[in-house]
Amino acid sequence: MAAADVQAPPAEPAPALPDYVTSPNAVFADEGVEWRYGKAPDYSKTRKVWEEGKKMNHAAGSLPQLVENLVKNWEVEASFKPRLQDWRTIDHANYSFAMNGGPGQGAEHMLKVGTYNAIVAPNEYYSPENSDFASSHKTFKRMMPTFAWEVIEVYSGPPKVALKWRHWGVMKNDYVGFNDKGEKVVAKAHGGPIEIFGITTATVDDKLRLQALDTYFDPLDMFRQIAPYGVVTKEKMNRNVDFSAAMDVGANHTPEQQATDGAKKPADFSNDGVKIAEHFGKPQQDNEKDVQAPEAVIQKHISESTGKPADEFVPHQGADTEKSAAASAPTELSAAQQAVEAAATHGANAEIEKPASNYHEAKKDTAPQGISTDVPRSMYSSSVTGNLEDRVRMGRTGDFQDESRHIRDAVDEHLEGPSDKVHPHPHDTEQAVQPQPGEAVAVPAQSEETRVTHEEMSNITAAECPFLMNRE
């Protein structure tokens, strides 16, 4: 009888789930935040396109659904919350974003240049160097008003999540952008779909906030579908113009028509978004009027790892479907893993919390007293070269050690000498030219100053700059 009176200890309550992993629209309800255009954006059309065109149907509370919601809320914050302190989906102390193995960028970089400029490398169709935040959104959102996103498959659970994703939309209007040569590029709208795929790895903390994001995809894949025949017009532009204002295209600005050649083959689109764009970009023939819409011909994605449709929920790595979550756990679970387990176990009944941004906690005491870390964006920063203003910021805070200050050579001694030796050109030339304030006299190509300058520049490494290193 005594044994029968013994009660099992009460089960520990399941950890609460952050609201930004339970709903794709969680951050729209944030209070006391600043929105880029004065109010929360309207994503109803994008959500409708997602609902009607998605290929996956992830189970409620499954890891793919949690990841999809997290990324969607992060995208809203990155695009429409201009104050970093309002971003709740990232761990501000450890956040970075990298493209195709490039250098990791802080949240400040994406906030300044925009989400498009942060992910697209300069190419013959588009260049972030010749497009600011406003013109980049004009370029892509005019062409494709809705650009839905979904998770195709998740390969591993927290703390490091690996996933495959799909981005898709319809080219409803002309593409107008500026390429790596500063040319204005125009591609006529073909009315067909644009579809790209990519792989992302994301490290998350115990609150499932994003820390390190590494994304891999072919950015030219989208442009090949925008202009499937390479038919575009290119116009030389004045580099001093306002790129956002120069986006508008006149009625007579049309590319030459692509000549048709050879007999047409039956439409066979499979999963090839380029072929779909090619077909829908060509004039329709009488014998092709009954061709199915792209959403009907793109085949359902089959998981390579399970052999099953990817919308069939597959527990994350380490789980055993024949046992309870607690019994199947191979080791003690982290807080993030417990949250994922709770979602899979309790689904819609899981407790939900609303974590606040940890911006102020992360930024506290990061800069010495009285030193400003507000550094303007460098004109040389890009998704390829990296965030060069970080070097200036590190120099101000003392985090960057300038080794050149402890190195002296003949060049330093020469530049620290008397002005008549550093600038040995004849003064009568200066008197004859009479330069005005702000003007200068160019020294002869065979002068000592030119020789020394060439010598110095030929010996520096790629990471050095004579101007930043206090050399003139």
| Residue 52, C-beta contacts closer than 8 angstroms, at least 6 positions apart | 295
Identify the bridge partners of residue 186 per DSSP, sorted by sequence position.
176, 233
Ramachandran angles phi, psi of 197, nearest 5°: -125, 155
**Are residues 413 and 153 in contact, defined by beta-carbon separation less than 8 angstroms?**
no
Cα–Cα distance list, 44 to 146, 147, 148, 308, 369 (Å): 10, 12, 11, 31, 45
| Mean pLDDT of the region 78-90 | 94
Query: Which single residue is written with the structure tokens 């956040």?
Result: 95
Q: Is the pLDDT of residue 320 over 50?
A: no
The pLDDT > 70 percentage for the chain reads 59
User: Residue 113: phi, psi to the nearest 5?
Assistant: -90, -20
Choose between 411 and 105: higher pLDDT: 105
Cβ pair 228, 277 in contact under 8 A: yes
Please state which CATH number belongs to domain 11-249+263-363: 3.10.450.50
- Delimiting residues of CATH 3.10.450.50 domain(s) in the chain: 11-249+263-363
- Tens digits of residue pLDDT in 41-64: 999 999 999 999 999 999 989 999
Count of CA atoms in the C-beta half-sphere (13 A) of 374:
2
CA torsion, ordered 387, 389, 391, 396, to nearest 10 deg: -150
pLDDT in tens, 407-421: 566 666 776 777 667
Instruction: Tell me which residue of 334, 378, 404 sits closest to 161, measured CA to CA.
Output: 334
Q: What is the pLDDT of residues 145-187, one digit of tens each?
A: 999 999 999 999 899 999 999 999 999 999 999 999 989 999 9
Q: Is the pLDDT of residue 264 over 50?
A: no
pLDDT, residue 251, reads: 32
Which tokens is 378 given? 């460098």
pLDDT at 309 over 80: no
